[in-house]
Structure 1
Amino acid sequence: MSYFTSRFSTGLRVLATTALVACAAAHADDYGDVSQLLRTGKVAEAQAKVDLYLTVKPRDPQMRFLKSAVQTAAGQPTEAIATLSALTQEYPELPEPYNNLAVLYASQNDYDKARTALEMAVRINPSYATAYENLGDIYAKLASQSYSKSLQLNASNPQASQKVTLLKSVLAPAAKTK
């Protein structure tokens, strides 16, 4: 290999590496921009940025995940569920879409679907602490529903009554302190 060919080849590798780093940084900025817009309540701007980005890179899983967050913030849970469901089909190795699907299902009181999604998330990533916590909340909610049904069928059941009361206190949002 001649000196020129060697220098040219090295130059291309450096250029390609620089382009990859710049591209990754640009993507990181886009992700950060969308996240920042969401944090500041600028949902329409976040949606526009997501849509623009996805016209160029429609299969980008991270931006599609952010799209589901934008859809949720925009009060579009059905669309967010569709986005996350598509991610779980195309990228079944990612646990986060399953976790967020579960949150959306739970918000619609569909605890069986939430449980199934969370069980998948922890199967994929056995060290995913947030999914385990959410799964515990879902199990507690399902237990509460079962104990409540038991009380409907037998109102004089003191054990079921105690369990319903206990689970309600566990599931109640924590009181905010000043």
Structure 2
Amino acid sequence: MTLRRLLSPIRLLALLACALAAPAWADDYAEVQRLQRGGQTREALAEADKYIAAHPRDPQMRFIKASVLSAAGRPDEAQELLTQLTRDYPELAEPWNNLAVLHAGRGRLDQAREALETALRIQPDYATALENLGDVQARQAAAAYQRARRLDAGNPRLAPKIEALRAVTGAAAQPGG
């Protein structure tokens, strides 16, 4: 998921499910996603849990469940599940990308950058992770320029840089610290 689409994890999940899922399991994945899209979070999580109980090592359903939790405003649980996925399946880049999105959403840009760099070491051509890394770096640059402006309010070079980043990143270029 891209940082700009923090609450739309279904796009990545649909692509990942198609690429990784066995045909017999695809229906189970699709059902959880359908329930989540329909606002039936409790039911989606129950279906995911039922599936995971029967297939505890399945990374895809665990990934889907983490995305449902994230979309439901339960980032701590989503982060715990994604972190466990990175331990169980260190060869998968997607959990690292989604961890980065959670970190960035909480303003933990250094942790987000580190997670994205890990995703890109695993899969150097992962376009979504590259885009997210650019977003994180732009937000970090905006924060540095804002701090510099607080320290040197008369510096005429800072305002155009801050405005350029606002144009690229929107409200994200206005960090609190």
Q: Tell me the TM-score normalized by structure 2.
A: 0.82
- Matched-pair identity in %: 50
Residue in structure 1 matched with residue 50 of structure 2 by the alignment: 52
Tell me how far apart the structure 2 counterparts of residues 109 and 39 of structure 1 sit (CA, whole Å): 26
CA RMSD, Structure 1 to Structure 2 (Å): 1.4
Tell me how far apart the structure 2 counterparts of residues 115 and 73 of structure 1 sit (CA, whole Å): 21
Structure 1 alignment gaps of length 5 or more? 1-22, 174-178
- Equivalent position to 1:70, from 68, 71, 95: 68
Tell me how far apart the structure 2 counterparts of residues 125 and 39 of structure 1 sit (CA, whole Å): 29
Runs of 4+ off more than 4 Å: none
Q: Shift in Å at residue 106 of structure 1?
A: 0.6
- Equivalent position to 1:108, from 106, 109, 113: 106
Residue in structure 1 matched with residue 93 of structure 2 by the alignment: 95
2:87 is equivalent to residue 84 of structure 1 = no
Give 3-state SS (helix, strand or coil) of 2:73's partner: coil
Residue in structure 2 matched with residue 158 of structure 1 by the alignment: 156
Tell me how far apart the structure 1 counterparts of residues 155 and 70 of structure 2 sit (CA, whole Å): 40
Give 3-state SS (helix, strand or coil) of 1:172's partner: helix
Amino acid at match of 2:102: L
Tell me how far apart the structure 2 counterparts of residues 33 and 26 of structure 1 sit (CA, whole Å): 12
Q: Shift in Å at residue 161 of structure 1?
A: 1.6
Give 3-state SS (helix, strand or coil) of 1:94's partner: coil
**Higher RCO structure (Cα 8 Å, ≥6 apart):** 2
Give 3-state SS (helix, strand or coil) of 1:158's partner: coil
Q: Shift in Å at residue 67 of structure 1?
A: 0.9
Residue in structure 2 matched with residue 118 of structure 1 by the alignment: 116
Give 3-state SS (helix, strand or coil) of 2:157's partner: helix
Amino acid at match of 1:166: A
